[in-house]
């Protein structure tokens, strides 16, 4: 029977493990176990047919000890307060592990955006900012795109904030179009960070990327870009899945052709030259590298014993349950934890904010170079912590982040 933990319970369990290793001050631990501030709002939206629907929205600010809260806003029918709190919690430590001057934030609205017209979606987006205008700002709390939100929604939110404040604060939100202060390299940043982490892990395990086989669960933006980048480095991507199923080819999939096929058909299923397999079967393929790039809690104590990969690179947030983590560790599988592995996205969001504040914008090559350097340094710090304390990379990543945030909390006199 798989363990039943909410996302927030998972996050707290991971923190407590690191706290024991660090002998963390109890006051600091108490400060970090729950968000500093959580806001719940009700957003009335006039629908196209003249009726009014009221939506529930959330914003969680886990910590601002080091800097303003930072994190995405998701529009999804399953958004809950617990999920938003957990995601803001993970963002604090994601920013901490890569050394960004941010704390963790996260937001969401419980809605199925596919049921809304473009004009209804715009009214909802603007309504969310109106309800939370006192919370947001480039020096307070900086939203970004997340599940089912995009650059257009960020543009509406930016504009609504400008209407309320009577000036345009480009740095109050990231993930914007380039013309509105977005950063080059942002769309590929999460996947590029995942790949840099994989390359660092492969090097330390004395493997060669050109000899590695890869399975990727999830073929959205992060999964598809990671697939193309790894294939360009000589890795053999043998299995890929999406929400409708999975495909496998022992000789490797043509990732570019697969991307075009999915755009044309809506799924990877049935891709010529491959055979269809169950999505759950993908996780258990005999590959060198497994990349969960979709949902939370997909690797559990039921399937963890059957995972054969040498490296699990968490492109998704929270894909591995704590009990499964223990199983993978005992099997000698190296897990690159989500707060390190997928931090490329928030790192380039930080670069976007810096560019907004300076009013000076970098080339895509500069952005990618800075991202690579930041990811390499962060992986090295976590690897060193894991070696010094003889622990897994997840615990080590939390230790690096918690040590940093905890120092700020104590210096500020909060505990």
The topology (CATH level 3) of 7-13+23-170 is Rossmann fold (3.40.50)
Task: Give the model confidence (pLDDT) of 195-214 as tens digits.
Answer: 999 999 999 999 999 999 99
What per-residue confidence (pLDDT) applies to 237? Answer: 98
Question: Would you say residue 48 has pLDDT above 80?
Answer: yes
Torsion of CA 218, 234, 247, 76, to 10 degrees: 10
- Residue 29: both structure tokens together: 């631990």
Nearest to 289 by CA among 379, 186, 213: 213
Domain boundaries, the chain: 7-13+23-170, 189-336
Torsion of CA 383, 384, 388, 390, to 10 degrees: 10
Identify the band that residue 279 occupies on the pLDDT scale cut at 50, 70 and 90.
confident
Per-residue CA distances from 275 to 134, 248, 260, 360 (Å): 53, 5, 17, 49
Identify the band that residue 402 occupies on the pLDDT scale cut at 50, 70 and 90.
very high
Q: Is 106 a catalytic residue?
A: yes
- Residue 182: both structure tokens together: 């977005």
Among all chains, which residue has been given the structure tokens 């710090």?
Answer: 381
What per-residue confidence (pLDDT) applies to 11? Answer: 87
Task: Give the model confidence (pLDDT) of 49-86 as tens digits.
Answer: 999 999 999 999 999 999 999 999 999 999 999 999 99
> pLDDT higher for 288 or 146?
288
Active-site residue among 70, 94, 106, 184? Answer: 106
What per-residue confidence (pLDDT) applies to 78? Answer: 93
Mean pLDDT on 259-281: 94
- Residue 231: both structure tokens together: 């294939």
What per-residue confidence (pLDDT) applies to 14? Answer: 87
Task: Give the model confidence (pLDDT) of 103-156 as tens digits.
Answer: 999 999 999 999 999 999 999 999 999 999 999 999 999 999 998 999 999 999
Q: CATH topology of 7-13+23-170 equal to that of 189-336?
A: yes
The topology (CATH level 3) of 189-336 is Rossmann fold (3.40.50)
Mean pLDDT on 260-273: 95
What per-residue confidence (pLDDT) applies to 258? Answer: 97
Task: Give the model confidence (pLDDT) of 210-257 as tens digits.
Answer: 999 999 999 988 999 999 999 999 999 999 999 899 999 999 999 999
pTM: 0.93
Strands 103-110 and 73-76: parallel
DSSP strand E in 62-144: where? 69-70, 73-76, 103-110, 141-142
What per-residue confidence (pLDDT) applies to 310? Answer: 97
- Residue 205: both structure tokens together: 């395990």
What per-residue confidence (pLDDT) applies to 3? Answer: 60
Phi, psi of 6 (to 5 degrees): -75, 160
Question: Would you say residue 2 has pLDDT above 80?
Answer: no
Nearest to 110 by CA among 65, 66, 80: 80
Q: What is the mean pLDDT of the chain?
A: 95
- Rounded Cα distance between 213 and 153, Å, is 37
Task: Give the model confidence (pLDDT) of 5-30 as tens digits.
Answer: 888 998 898 899 999 999 999 999 99
Other C-beta atoms closer than 10 Å to the C-beta of 245 total 16
Sequence length of the chain is: 415
């Amino acid at each position: 029977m798989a363990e039943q933990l909410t996302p927030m319970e998972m996050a707290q369990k991971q923190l407590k493990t690191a706290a024991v290793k660090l002998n963390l001050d109890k006051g600091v631990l108490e400060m970090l176990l729950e968000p500093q501030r959580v806001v719940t709002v009700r957003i009335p939206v006039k629908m196209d047919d003249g009726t009014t629907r009221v939506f529930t929205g959330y914003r969680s600010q886990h910590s601002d000890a080091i800097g303003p809260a930072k994190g995405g806003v998701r529009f999804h029918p399953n958004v809950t307060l617990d999920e938003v709190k957990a995601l803001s919690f993970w963002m604090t430590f994601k920013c901490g592990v890569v050394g960004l001057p941010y704390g963790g934030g996260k937001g969401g609205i419980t809605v199925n955006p596919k049921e809304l017209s473009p004009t209804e979606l715009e009214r909802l987006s603007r309504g969310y900012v109106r309800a939370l205008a006192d919370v947001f700002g480039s020096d307070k709390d900086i939203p970004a795109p997340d599940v089912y939100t995009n650059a257009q929604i960020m543009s509406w939110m930016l504009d609504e904030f400008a209407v309320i404040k009577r000036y345009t604060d480009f740095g109050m939100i990231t993930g914007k179009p380039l013309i509105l202060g977005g950063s080059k390299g942002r769309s590929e940043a999460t996947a590029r960070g995942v790949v840099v982490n994989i390359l660092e892990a492969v090097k330390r395990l004395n493997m060669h990327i050109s000899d590695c086989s890869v399975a990727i669960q999830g073929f959205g933006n992060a999964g598809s870009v990671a697939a193309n980048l790894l294939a360009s480095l000589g890795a053999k991507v043998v299995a890929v899945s999406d929400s409708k199923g999975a495909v496998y080819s022992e000789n490797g999939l043509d990732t570019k052709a697969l991307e075009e096929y999915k755009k044309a058909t809506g799924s990877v299923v049935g891709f010529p030259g491959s055979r269809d397999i169950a999505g759950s079967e993908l996780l258990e393929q005999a590959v060198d590298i497994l990349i969960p790039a979709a949902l939370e809690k997909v690797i559990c104590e039921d399937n963890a014993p059957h995972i054969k990969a040498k490296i699990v690179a968490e492109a998704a947030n929270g894909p591995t349950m704590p009990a499964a983590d223990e199983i993978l560790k005992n099997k000698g599988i190296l897990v690159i934890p989500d707060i390190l592995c997928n931090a490329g996205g928030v790192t380039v969001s930080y670069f976007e904010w810096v560019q907004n504040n300076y009013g000076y914008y970098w080339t895509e090559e500069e952005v990618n170079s800075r991202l690579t350097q930041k990811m390499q340094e962060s992986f090295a710090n976590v690897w060193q912590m894991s070696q010094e304390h003889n622990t897994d990379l997840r615990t080590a990543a939390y230790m690096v982040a918690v040590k940093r945030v905890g120092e700020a909390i104590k210096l500020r006199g909060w505990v």
